[in-house]
Amino acid sequence: MSSRRFSVTHLGSCQRDKGRLSISGRAAIFFQTRETSLTPSKSGRSVNTEASSSMIEILTPIWQRVLQQSSIGINDNFFDLGGDFSLALRLFTEISQGCGRVLSPVMIYQAPTIAGLAALLEQPAAPRSPALVPLKAGADSTPVFLAHGLGGTAMDFFQAVKHVQSDHPIYGMQARGMDGLDKPLDRVEDMAQLYLDAIREMQPHGPYLLIGYSFGGLVTLEVAQRLSSNGEKIALLAMVDAYPNIRYLPWKQQIRLIAHHARRVLGNFLNLSGSALYRPPASVSSSPALQRVRESAYLALARYRPRFYGGKIKFVRAAITSGVPDDPAAVWAHVASEFEVETVPGDHLAMIATHFEDLASVLPRYLNEVDADRSCN
C-alpha cells in the first residue's frame, strides 16, 4: 500500500522591489491560506515546489548558519541535515528577523527544504497552520493521529516520533491559533470536533488509531467518544500521562497534589488550572500567538470533565510522578470499560524530552498489537 501524498497549488512568484520583498506566493502543501484550502491527495505525484532565486538567496545562509553547514542544497531535507525541534525554533526566529514574516516552526514539516520554504514565504497571505501535520511517513494505509499537550504544537513529539519503528504514517494535531491568524479554541469539545473533521476527511472510517500526550489525552478521549457514538471502531486509544483538571481528580489525589504544589510555590499563589502539568522548555519562544494558545488550553482543561468511555484505554505513565497524580488507575479506571497502565522512565516532561526512546518503544508495540488483531479478523 502506498503512503498518502499531498497536492500542491501554485500561486505566483517572488520579486525584489527597491530593496523590499514583494511577495505573491508559490506553493501550498496541506495548509490553507486566506484564499486556498488544500487537502491530502491520494495520487502518487510528488510535491513540486518552486521559488524565486532571491528568496532562496535569503534563506540559504540562514539555513547554513543554523545547521552549521557550509553547503546546503535547495532540496536538502531539514531533518536529514540534523535539524530538530530547537533548531527549527532558531531557524524560524532568524527567518522572521531576515524576511519580516512570522511563521509557526511547525511549518518545517510542510516545507522541509529551502526551496519549499522559500515558496511558502512567497505567498501573498500568511499560511494558516493545518489541523493535522504529517510527522512521519509510512506505507500502511491506517494513519496514527497524535494529540499535542498544553503547548499546542505537534513538534513536542519530534524526538519520540523520530524513533517510532512502525509502518503507520503519523500525523500530529495542531492547535488552532498557532499561526497567530485564528482565535484559539478554549473548549476540549471544540478542539475535538476540529480534529475530528480533519481526521475524517483523511480517513472517513475506522479503525482509528489515537494517541494523546498530557492535555492531548483529554482531546483524543473526546475524539474517541464522538467516533464511537457514530458507530466507528477505535482500534487504539493511548493516553500518555494525561490527567483532567485537579477538581475532577479523586479527593486523595487532590490532597496529594495540593500539598506538592504548596511545597513548590513556597508562598506564591497556588495555580490549580492544570498548568503545572506543562512547563515549556526554555528553548521554546513564547510568542504572543503561542501564549494565547496556552492560555486557551489551560481554560479548556479547567472546563473539561471526562465522561465514561465504552472502550479500552492504554495508559502510559511517567515513573516520576512529581506534579501529577501517582495513581492513574484511581483517576481513569472508572471512566473506561478497560484500562491498562504501564510505566516509562522520567517525569511528565522528561518522558518525551529525555526518555523519548523508551516511549517510542512502547507505542509501536501497541500498534503491532492492533495489526495482529486486524490480521486475525
Q: What is the CATH number of the domain that holds 245?
A: 3.40.50.1820
Q: Characterise 234 by phi-psi region: left (phi > 0), alpha (psi -120 to 50), beta (else).
A: beta
Residues 6+ apart with CB under 8 A from 173: 131, 132, 133, 145, 146, 147, 148, 154, 195, 198, 216, 219
* Cα 372 to Cα 125: distance, rounded to the nearest angstrom: 46
> Of 121, 145, 169, which residue constitutes the final position of a domain?
121
pLDDT at residue 85 in the model: 75
User: Are residues 372 and 289 part of one domain?
Assistant: yes
What domain range is 170 assigned to?
132-376
Task: Tell me whether residue 126 is in a domain.
Answer: no
Task: Tell me whether residue 336 is in a domain.
Answer: yes
**Spacing of C-alpha 244 from chain mean position:** 19
* Cα 26 to Cα 15: distance, rounded to the nearest angstrom: 12
User: Are residues 257 and 179 part of one domain?
Assistant: yes
User: Are residues 238 and 187 part of one domain?
Assistant: yes
* Cα 93 to Cα 101: distance, rounded to the nearest angstrom: 10
* Cα 145 to Cα 154: distance, rounded to the nearest angstrom: 11
Task: Tell me whether residue 93 is in a domain.
Answer: yes
* Cα 247 to Cα 251: distance, rounded to the nearest angstrom: 8
> Of 121, 154, 169, which residue constitutes the final position of a domain?
121
User: Are residues 361 and 333 part of one domain?
Assistant: yes
Task: Tell me whether residue 167 is in a domain.
Answer: yes
| pLDDT per residue of the chain (377 residues) written in tens, 0 to 9 | 333 332 222 223 333 333 333 222 222 223 332 222 333 333 333 333 455 678 888 899 999 999 999 899 999 999 889 888 778 888 988 888 877 777 778 788 888 899 999 888 888 777 777 889 888 888 878 999 999 888 767 777 878 888 898 999 999 998 888 777 889 999 999 999 999 999 999 999 989 999 999 999 999 999 999 999 999 999 999 999 998 887 767 666 667 666 656 655 554 444 444 444 444 444 444 567 778 888 999 999 999 999 999 999 999 999 988 767 777 888 888 888 999 999 999 998 888 888 889 999 999 999 999 988 777 76
Please give the grid coordinates belonging to residue 52. 524565486
User: Are residues 270 and 202 part of one domain?
Assistant: yes
Task: Give the count of beta carbons closer than 10 Å to the beta carbon of residue 206.
Answer: 16
pLDDT at residue 262 in the model: 61
User: Are residues 175 and 77 part of one domain?
Assistant: no
User: Are residues 242 and 150 part of one domain?
Assistant: yes
User: Are residues 157 and 115 part of one domain?
Assistant: no
The C-alpha R_g of the chain, in whole angstroms, comes to: 21
**Spacing of C-alpha 303 from chain mean position:** 22
Task: Tell me whether residue 174 is in a domain.
Answer: yes
* Cα 159 to Cα 353: distance, rounded to the nearest angstrom: 7
User: Are residues 353 and 308 part of one domain?
Assistant: yes
* Cα 120 to Cα 125: distance, rounded to the nearest angstrom: 10
* Cα 276 to Cα 149: distance, rounded to the nearest angstrom: 12
User: Are residues 252 and 144 part of one domain?
Assistant: yes
- Choose among 125, 304, 158: nearest CA to 220: 304
> Of 121, 151, 176, which residue constitutes the final position of a domain?
121
Q: What is the CATH number of the domain that holds 65?
A: 1.10.1200.10
pLDDT at residue 153 in the model: 77
User: Are residues 214 and 102 part of one domain?
Assistant: no
Task: Tell me whether residue 19 is in a domain.
Answer: yes
Q: In the chain, how many domains are there? A: 2
User: Are residues 313 and 238 part of one domain?
Assistant: yes
